[in-house]
Structure 1
Amino acid sequence: MKKSLLLVGAVTLSTFGSLSFAENGLDSSAISIVSMVESDEFVASLVQDDEFSLSSNEAFTITGITEPEQDVLLSVSMAGRIADIPISEGQQVSSGDLLLTLDTQPERLEVERTFLLWQDKSELEASRQQMEIYQLLYQNAKSLHEETGAISGEDLEGKKLQYLLQVAKTNQLEVNERKEKLEYQLARARLNKGQIIAPFEGVVTKVWLDKGESTQANKPLLRVVNSNRGRFIANVDESLGRKLSVNQSVELFIKAGDKHVLRQGTVAFVSPVTDSASNLIEVIIHFDNSDGEIKLGVSGYLEVS
């Protein structure tokens, strides 16, 4: 823009100069050509001058919104009546904390029953001992048959069959034990469907139902937010998005009350596709908010050269 204005000024100067010389009886066309050449040299000198140099790194402002990196709605995967909610809105929770429990008395009893069945190994142990006895009897009968012939071949086959049947029974009991363990694990999984466990450290920002109320499966009951880390999300023009790359460090200016605070951010995502209707691409930048100064959800901006 500055260069265009300078060129216009140079041409104007050339025109006025030629008219002035013409009034004095000089060759205006020759004077005009000289003036134009001199004007171009003058413009070039201005462009090279630091005071009039043009910047190729014009800054663009990208506006967007912020949100927590971790923000989840929690529910149970079974219907039932809420038996206990040991937390309240605004409470800080840690990963693994129990947040809500349904009335799961039948499921608890099933867990206890399957656990007792799994832990009862008396029949299996007895079968193993019996198998060892039958194995010893078979080996002794085999030795007598081969060395002295005191045991007939028919009796030897009977001892062998008795031993093999006991081996099969023991193997079946071992399979049953593994099944009982799986039944116990399935019972525990069904019990856990009636509980909500905190998936990460954060703050409970919403509780929709109270103790004693009934809920349906997969209905949102709690909201947990971790605001220590934030995300800045913006939709930018495709040509501008090319100036950003994953892991690039940027400076964000995010609204905090009546001011904007500076946050160092890292580009986490630059969409590989462009919206065909708007020619925009999505950009996500992560930043630290461990001091809690920013109430995530507000707007912000960054400047890209």
Structure 2
Amino acid sequence: MKKNIIFLATALVLSACQQKDNFDASGNFEADEVIVSAQQDGELISYSVQEGSKLKTGNKVGQIDVKIATLQKEQAEASIGALNQKTSNVDEQNLLIRKQLAVQEAQLDQQLHERTRTVNLLKADAATRKQLDDIDAAIDQLRKQIAVTRQQLSVNDSNTNTQNRGILSEKAPLEKTAAQFQEQINKGQIINPIDGIVLVNYALQGEMQIIGKPLYKIANTNTLDLRAYITGTQLPQIKIGQTVKVRIDQGKKGYKEYQGVIKWISDKSEFSPKTIQTKDERANLVYAIKVRVKNDGYLKIGMYGEVVF
């Protein structure tokens, strides 16, 4: 009887050791968590984030008051509009001068025609030389007047363009200012950056926000990483991209198994965390690895898991 009891005790101890060592690494599940922060100062006038809610990338989940930035943008746009009214239209300024030039050119054409007629009459002794000289003098005078009028048009064009460039040179800085205010307006919108579940909510509607203040924490839990630890002797047995077995304890139901892929292996050793078991518990230095696992809804951040190579 005593021998049976000793045998049974020995078997239980061996069985326990086998169960305990029936894994190659262990650790906890984690996810890439993103803390969404305010990008603008002001009152949180609308906010729809709740812990546990699922959000999609690009969802607008809140609005910070941006009335001041909106008014400043409108002021900059009004200043741009005022600049356009200050500019001059050179065609309107030159309209009278162009009419004067047209009259002078018409008079020149008439004098040239009269000179041709006078030359013919002079050949027939029906006109005098003085009449031809007077016409030539009038033609020369008209040509000088036309040259001055055209120069005046050119000067008006140059002066007006210079004046307009000086006025419109203020437009580019004002447009940049309006764009800056628009950026502030855009940052007043709280846009969710990733697909995921809200883990923690830090804000409430009506609160005052400042740039950089956390609003909520979100993580994509469709896939989780099991951060586990292995000994130096196990390191040569694994590689990145390797498929391994991951399991979680379901109590009386035993283990629930998943397929995982090794996504990362640390290149530096560290002291074994107190809460982590290794296959060789005597090992002081271990290496961290991450095993990517597709989540079926049962896996939770922080849950304990085991890896079998």
Q: TM tier, shorter chain?
A: 0.5 to 0.7
The superposition leaves residues 171-214 of structure 1 with CA deviations (integer Å, 9 ceiling, x where unpaired) of 55665444333222211222344332100122223222322223
Is 1:98 aligned to residue 98 of structure 2? no
* 3-state SS in 2 of match to 1:212: coil
CA distance in structure 2 between the partners assigned to 1:132 and 1:235 by the alignment: 83
Higher relative contact order (CA 8 A, sep 6+): 2
1:1-305 alignment, distance < 5 Å? 61-69=24-32, 71-115=33-77, 120=81, 123=84, 130=90, 149-150=143-144, 158-171=152-165, 175-255=169-249, 259-275=254-270, 279-289=285-295, 291-304=296-309
Offset at 1:121? 8.8
Amino acid corresponding to residue 84 of structure 1 in structure 2: S
Aligned residue number for residue 10 of structure 2: none
Amino acid corresponding to residue 52 of structure 2 in structure 1: G
CA distance in structure 2 between the partners assigned to 1:298 and 1:117 by the alignment: 60
Offset at 1:281? 2.8
* 3-state SS in 1 of match to 2:180: helix
CA distance in structure 1 between the partners assigned to 2:42 and 2:308 by the alignment: 52
The superposition leaves residues 38-93 of structure 1 with CA deviations (integer Å, 9 ceiling, x where unpaired) of xxxxxxxxxxxxxxxxxxxx986111111124x22222134433222123233222
CA RMSD of aligned residues (A): 3.9
Amino acid corresponding to residue 304 of structure 2 in structure 1: S
The percent of aligned pairs where both chains have the same amino acid is 19
* 3-state SS in 1 of match to 2:246: strand
Offset at 1:161? 4.0
CA distance in structure 2 between the partners assigned to 1:60 and 1:89 by the alignment: 35
The 3 A distance-change label for structure 1 pair 65 and 276 is: closer
The 3 A distance-change label for structure 1 pair 158 and 93 is: same
The superposition leaves residues 82-125 of structure 1 with CA deviations (integer Å, 9 ceiling, x where unpaired) of 2221232332222111222223321232234445556x498189
Question: Are 2:87 and 2:163, in contact at CA under 8 Å, matched by a contact in 1?
Answer: no
Question: Are 2:83 and 2:167, in contact at CA under 8 Å, matched by a contact in 1?
Answer: no
Question: Are 2:83 and 2:168, in contact at CA under 8 Å, matched by a contact in 1?
Answer: no
The 3 A distance-change label for structure 1 pair 276 and 206 is: closer
The 3 A distance-change label for structure 1 pair 66 and 276 is: closer
* 3-state SS in 1 of match to 2:234: helix
Amino acid corresponding to residue 294 of structure 1 in structure 2: L
Question: Are 1:124 and 1:170, in contact at CA under 8 Å, matched by a contact in 2?
Answer: no
Unaligned stretches of 5+ residues in structure 2: 1-20, 106-141, 273-283
* 3-state SS in 2 of match to 1:108: helix
Question: Highest Rg: 1 or 2?
Answer: 2
Offset at 1:301? 1.5
Question: Are 1:94 and 1:198, in contact at CA under 8 Å, matched by a contact in 2?
Answer: yes
CA distance in structure 1 between the partners assigned to 2:271 and 2:300 by the alignment: 33
* 3-state SS in 2 of match to 1:251: strand
Aligned residue number for residue 18 of structure 2: none
* 3-state SS in 2 of match to 1:123: helix
* 3-state SS in 2 of match to 1:227: coil
Amino acid corresponding to residue 267 of structure 1 in structure 2: I
Offset at 1:126? 6.1
CA distance in structure 2 between the partners assigned to 1:149 and 1:165 by the alignment: 24
Amino acid corresponding to residue 288 of structure 1 in structure 2: K
Question: Are 1:229 and 1:288, in contact at CA under 8 Å, matched by a contact in 2?
Answer: yes
CA distance in structure 2 between the partners assigned to 1:284 and 1:151 by the alignment: 91
Structure 1 window deviating more from structure 2 (225-234 vs 165-174): it is 165-174
CA distance in structure 2 between the partners assigned to 1:260 and 1:115 by the alignment: 66
